[in-house]
Amino acid sequence: MTEAESGLRSDPTVLSECLWGMFKRHRQRGFTLVEILIVVVIIGILAIIIVPKCAQFTDQTRATTTVALLRTIRNQIEFYQAQHQGTNPTLAQMWANLTSPTKLDGTPDGSGRFGPCLRQVPINQYTLSDTIVATGTGTANDGWEYDEAAGKIAAVGFDEATETFTPP
């Protein structure tokens, strides 16, 4: 087959033009550095706007969860008082008294006929602790403060009026 029949020329300039045309077409399919930088900047701006909103939602969720946990614990303390002739759970046995069956005198006992009031020990959503201490003695490592005489419980560092957390 001759050059005329095949329609191809053996001229080197035609070959280089053909290769340049393929390179040019391939280059048109990609993105330029400026286009990529613009997209990165836009994503950065969106992240700057969205991340603080997510942190705000996380704080609101923690506050709502803490309020709900306090309400549940307080209701169960009242339930315990009703079952145990008006006595409050003791500080030393608070979680044992509320999470396991008890006798009438409040002694935790697997065969007791009262309770359990709670399925599991609640965790303070801010300190991530379930420890319980006397009111006014809570540290950043404690979860709850309990006034045994009054039967009142509070989350360590949590202000219920404003629903804010201040580390002790």
Domain boundaries, the chain: 12-165
The model's pTM: 0.68
167 versus 71: the higher-pLDDT residue is: 71
Write the pLDDT tens digit of every residue in 51-73: 888 878 888 898 999 999 999 99
Q: What is the CA radius of gyration of the chain?
A: 35
The beta strands (E) that lie in 36-162 are given as 132-134, 144-147, 152-155, 158-159
Residue among 51, 73, 50, 69 at smallest CA distance from 61 = 69
Alpha carbon distance 152, 144 (integer Å) = 10
Write the pLDDT tens digit of every residue in 142-155: 999 999 999 999 99
